[in-house]
Structure 1
């Protein structure tokens, strides 16, 4: 993508803004099976026939855009793009044969294909949802605007295609010519296709230069809508074989198939550590509580003293955490997965975490917090992108037999509950420590329930032991820190959020392997064909890494719409 960075061009900005949506296309059964090389030929040919309908819509949209363009150079540029697609349509049959497939029979466009094609043509005709474009495009300026909107609808399709195929190509062995879809993937990763996608983006940038802020907002809306329709197009491709995605659909509710999802809170759901947030509330609200002139203020620290106490506690925690890690780290690399060794090493964390919590209680930092302040802070907490959307979707989906549990070292369950729940979401199962209150003011104590990796694992196992043993169950544990290691390994599927170097270093020392989730799923999909089932096994020693909740959402539930 070397020559791609058009500084500040709208095409690049929009792609960066909505690129996370590409995950939902990537994780479709269609692309996972293509990447694994075992998508059934019939499904592929169905896709090819639908793609032809879309290409025809692109040609038509380009024709309308060309009529709208005011500038001769722009007209010529659009004409070139149209001829490129026309050429692709004309050579479609020979391309399909070249890729090694029989020609598909004519198939009617599906509803999803029609929806996408209709959107492209409506945009190119100046009919944009919620926009008042005059019935007759009177002035050249109005026309140029529509040409820009049209390019905004076309651009994400080509960029998404180039992007996904590059992601897939990176997983393939370049010397393996037996991969059924290698030629097709290579075609969309070629310099020719990249140059074509880039020309569309350049032209979109050119046509947008004179537009107002409001009109640029319309382009953004059109671009985003097109991206979503593209994802929907791939999500709706009929797949006749067994697939590993989306996970929720691989479990059969008819035979009691059930999915239990567990996740950590700090640095997994929340972008920040909750202990610092609770300390901050204490520091900020402290002066207010003291101003009533009651005798308790003598026994309580001032705001400034409180901050220095907290800073000292924090640095001691960090220092001891590092020493703890150092004491269990060796330079040897494990040749195999050693679960027992890891458990022994993590035992040392229990003493360290418990001692740290006791120091916090003794310091009195958590004394005198108002329950309402804590809940308010929870509601305003910054969560990782896509986290709340995923939780809401799980909680509201009646058809899913799914339970969701949050296991956290956080000192205050109220903070988690208010951060993750919204008005329309039923109560979450939160397992964490709690701050006891007297008349809704904290006493400064912590009701300690989860303080070590072992206690987390115990809570995890207790929840699982309560379920119906006869049913077909799957467990997923999503974590982000060392305290989650045992639970992630004991779950059928352990997912690591973000890149915690300490977690990785410690895991690798005991033979844990970390695999990016998408490539792990492609490998699993190959297994499905060879072994006949997607066998997720706990204690396999493999954990899957993701960089966003969108990946988890796409893997477990499928597309976001």
Structure 2
């Protein structure tokens, strides 16, 4: 059945009134620095997944690369010091002027520290800025001189805020990367090759430096208009992008495991992306969307069927029926999962066959629940055009559409495997709004007569077993297309119990914000959960240590490990890069 957020795999939709509300937006009360970081944090994730940072975090980055990076980093620090000098000259408030002066002093001390720690054995005196560093230099010089769109050079006091907006993004990004990498290297080893660098950017002193910069940005921005705050947001985003370009420009010598799509030998391998739909791609489940649609278009009183039309339930009858269906499903699924967990012993290692057998009980339950929906007639009389329109308005998770649009640009194979009751018209309508017209959808389908739903459903994918059988069939057919014998490297993205078998069989199984029932069932059968970035760094270490290893082949299905991701942006960064 179509899934909802409160179930482990799927659930009939409740009425519209039960849909969860989106989280409130961050307001100006939080300050422009925090507002910008929340707004552009997904962009920062792309920096974390660059070959340079992943290789550095693994401890396997070549010294030659690190030497070059440190030399370029000195140019960055000099640039920040110069920018602070301009900002100090522009600002009129004495307290703010003193604050900027302190930031400039800290930056100068940082340059001296880098020189003391690294110059003797890593930094070449004859190093020159690379194109990415030069581009960043030009970006900051354009801000300090007021030569960017939306800024008037005569408004000197505002230039200080704009300069701080761009610098703050870079400092916050480095503080973020330092903390993320520090957590990993503390877990794995204390004798890390680049321990000093990691400690420098993850230290309390650098985090405090970042907070000082953000507080000054907030202070200088208090009197700015909405339009002027928009300029700061734009410069903040551009600052992060400049930093990412800097990371990407570093000459990483060793084989990098990211982005996943970039490491495939296209003569021998092909990337295949699989995804669940409900609540993996969407903010609300498609079943709830169809339920809401039946209620929104329901007649107020009994309808007499005319020729070529199906009688519709009244509004009150639909609400009552959906409530009964949803309650039976929710309670029944909870009992089903409790029963299968009690009936089997907890495994220390992956017990895939035991999990598959246990999920047969869930499959039987799902089929009974779907039959209940058909027999109730709640979907009868829905108009095809209304379903298409509902699909066009269905909200996707942040970053999801961009990910699928990138897949299209990369010409990678992509398949959506879903319990959705109306795959062709609903799911396709969702992605058509983003220009994606070649999506391969494997789902159930509503039955229609002259553009009206009969209330029946052509069942194709009802259960975890159906999903994994569809997954296996797609991979088998893909390996035999014409003369193309390329080995598939499969990525499956899901979030619920119904996705577990596919997640485990894929070379890379990524769980997007896993729900409690998925974790409990998977853990019971020996599945381990690892944060995606942690897994990537570990794989990078393994790839470098095994001479001649193909980085893409380090990912193998049925390993018993699933990778958790916080957002579609993180998945995008891992698979395709920036």
The normalised TM-score by structure 2 is 0.90
User: Which of residues 524, 536, 542 in structure 2 aligns to 1:509?
Assistant: 524
Output aligned runs, 1:19-418, within 5 Å: 19-96=41-118, 101-128=121-148, 130-134=149-153, 137=154, 142-173=155-186, 176-253=189-266, 255-287=267-299, 294=306, 299-330=311-342, 332-397=345-410, 400=411, 402-413=412-423, 414-418=425-429
1:3 match:
none
User: Which of residues 424, 431, 434 in structure 1 aligns to 2:445?
Assistant: 434
1:529 equivalent to 2:544? Answer yes
Preserved CA contact (<8 Å) 1:49 1:106: no
TM-superposed CA distance for 1:34, in Å, is 1.0
In structure 2, do the counterparts of structure 1 residues 449 and 221 end up closer, same or farther at CA, with 3 Å as the change threshold? same
1:494 match:
509
TM-superposed CA distance for 1:313, in Å, is 0.4
Other structure's SS at 1:241 match: coil
TM-superposed CA distance for 1:484, in Å, is 0.6
Preserved CA contact (<8 Å) 1:386 1:550: yes
User: Which of residues 424, 449, 464 in structure 2 aligns to 1:453?
Assistant: 464
What is the CA deviation profile of residues 61-104 of structure 1, one whole-angstrom value per residue up to 9, with x for unaligned ones?
11211221112222222222122222322343212159xx4333
TM-superposed CA distance for 1:421, in Å, is 2.6
Other structure's SS at 1:543 match: strand
TM-superposed CA distance for 1:236, in Å, is 2.6
User: Distance in 1 between the 2:561 and 2:529 partners?
Assistant: 6
User: Distance in 1 between the 2:212 and 2:224 partners?
Assistant: 19
User: Which of residues 554, 557, 561 in structure 1 aligns to 2:576?
Assistant: 557
What is the CA deviation profile of residues 413-436 of structure 1, one whole-angstrom value per residue up to 9, with x for unaligned ones?
111111123363232000000012
Larger mean Cα displacement after TM superposition, 231-240 or 271-280? 231-240
Preserved CA contact (<8 Å) 1:154 1:226: yes
**More relative contact order, 1 or 2 (CA 8 Å, 6+ apart):** 2
Please, what is the CA RMSD of the aligned residues? 2.1
TM-superposed CA distance for 1:207, in Å, is 0.8
Note the residue ranges of structure 2 that are not aligned, 5 or more in a row.
1-27
Preserved CA contact (<8 Å) 1:489 1:541: yes
Other structure's SS at 1:437 match: strand
User: Distance in 2 between the 1:527 and 1:256 partners?
Assistant: 21
2:3 match:
none
What is the CA deviation profile of residues 295-350 of structure 1, one whole-angstrom value per residue up to 9, with x for unaligned ones?
89995320111111011001101111111101111385322111111011001111
In structure 2, do the counterparts of structure 1 residues 289 and 50 end up closer, same or farther at CA, with 3 Å as the change threshold? farther
Other structure's SS at 1:39 match: coil
Preserved CA contact (<8 Å) 2:303 2:311: no
1:547 match:
566
Preserved CA contact (<8 Å) 1:262 1:407: yes
In structure 2, do the counterparts of structure 1 residues 132 and 181 end up closer, same or farther at CA, with 3 Å as the change threshold? closer
In structure 2, do the counterparts of structure 1 residues 25 and 298 end up closer, same or farther at CA, with 3 Å as the change threshold? closer
User: Distance in 2 between the 1:265 and 1:522 partners?
Assistant: 28
User: Distance in 2 between the 1:175 and 1:537 partners?
Assistant: 22
The normalised TM-score by structure 1 is 0.92
Preserved CA contact (<8 Å) 2:504 2:560: yes
User: Which of residues 463, 469, 474 in structure 1 aligns to 2:489?
Assistant: 474
TM-superposed CA distance for 1:234, in Å, is 1.4
In structure 2, do the counterparts of structure 1 residues 293 and 485 end up closer, same or farther at CA, with 3 Å as the change threshold? closer
What is the number of residues matched between the two proteins?
541
